[in-house]
Amino acid sequence: MMTNRNAASLLSCSLLVGPLFLLLAYDADGFIHSVGRGSLLPPRTYAGGAVPITPGVWPSSSVSSSHGVVSFSSSSSAWALASDFGSAMPEKPEQSLEEKLQHSAYEFIASMENALSDTPEIAPPELALLKAARKNPNSTVADLTKLVYELMIERAMLYDEDTDTGALTLTQFTDLPNNLDIPEVKKEFAFLYTYGMNLMKREMLDSDTVKAIVVTRLIKRTGLTPEEFDTWLGY
């Protein structure tokens, strides 16, 4: 029987990438951001959006947070100086899709390794494959996208996440075919399936690649046929 902890853990991946996943409806960069920031440990966010506080960027007395809400208390002259300084800095060159994906893959790898730091022996082989591909100068955008998508699926299917520490442990909820009526299970599969379809629509992966991943890593786990799987998800 599925416990509340199992249900929460099963949805951990989709809950983290959910808001960023919406970006994918507009451009391929949505995938990049979701991989780099969503599929792993979430960044610190504050009311009104993600506002990373980087040491050395803001005056030490200018930023404070309480219950997730940021407040700014520095004087107007200090902010004017910061604004003038920012406007004087040269703009950063626009990164290519491959550069963004490389960076996000790096963050994905680092976050997975951090979440598995106490139990590196249970790391999935897909993690090592992504690390190798990222270091390979011949790896293409499609290569990295495929491996990131596969690792995202395995992370969701194989592990429970500690909501306090972010640590991953092997899930005990493995009897998926007999628990397809649980709403959380259906939502997780629907999310991961739709994610792959959007990668295909954005031409980041071809249809054959997405189909192979979906069949072997999603449909096979349910014990359903492809037709039954589509019906189960309401397609």
Instruction: Yes or no: say if 29 and 38 are a contact pair by the CB < 8 Å rule.
Output: no
**Dihedral of CA 9/11/14/16: which sign?**
negative
Pairing relationship of beta strands 63-66 and 69-72 according to DSSP bridges:
antiparallel
3-state secondary structure 117-181: CCCHHHCCHHHHHHHHHHHCCCCCHHHHHHHHHHHHHHHHHHEEECCCCCCEEECCCCCHHHHCC
Instruction: Yes or no: say if 43 and 33 are a contact pair by the CB < 8 Å rule.
Output: no
Q: Look at residue 161 in the predicted model and tell me its pLDDT.
A: 93
Q: Look at residue 91 in the predicted model and tell me its pLDDT.
A: 73
Q: What is the C-alpha to C-alpha distance for residues 135 and 139, in angstroms, rounded to an integer?
A: 8
Partners of residue 49 on adjacent β-strands:
46
Q: Look at residue 92 in the predicted model and tell me its pLDDT.
A: 73
Q: pTM score > 0.75 for this model? A: no
Across the chain, which has 235 residues, the per-10-residue mean pLDDT values are 42 39 40 40 33 32 38 45 58 83 92 96 97 95 96 96 94 95 95 96 96 98 97 95
Q: Look at residue 59 in the predicted model and tell me its pLDDT.
A: 31
* Single-letter residue type at 12: S
Q: Look at residue 80 in the predicted model and tell me its pLDDT.
A: 52
Per the listing, tokens 């520095």 go with 74
- Joined together, the tokens standing for residue 40 give 């792993």
